[in-house]
Amino acid sequence: MYSTRGIEAIATVTELRSRTSALIDQAAGLETGIMIQKNNDPVAVLVGYDKYMELYELQKKQKGNK
């Protein structure tokens, strides 16, 4: 079993294929993201651009402090 901590929604690869635009719109409005599963295993997280940039800047800050 895997942790879904911090994930607001889960979608399968099949759902991603058939509902790409809707899932992107949904991810853009979520604080965390949408976990993408393949064969019931987590393989990716779809996050909105603003959240991605927030995480990117946080990572840059943390690397600068080391």
Predicted confidence (pLDDT) at residue 1 exceeds the cutoff of 60: no
Q: How much is the pLDDT for 5?
A: 75
Binned at pLDDT 50, 70 and 90, residue 63 comes out as confident
Number of domains within the chain: 1
- CATH number at 47 reads 3.40.1620.10
Q: How much is the pLDDT for 3?
A: 66
Expressed as residue numbers, the domain containing 27 is: 9-64
Distance CA 47, CA 53 (A): 10
What are the residue ranges of helices labelled H in the chain?
13-18, 20-28, 49-64
Q: Is residue 27 part of a domain?
A: yes
Please write the tens of the pLDDT for every residue from 13-61: 999 999 999 999 999 999 889 999 999 999 999 999 999 999 999 999 9
Q: Which two tokens stand for residue 24?
A: 């992107």
Q: Is residue 3 part of a domain?
A: no
What is the three-class DSSP state of 46? strand
Question: Rounded to 5 degrees, what are φ and ψ at 65?
Answer: -85, -5
Q: How much is the pLDDT for 66?
A: 63
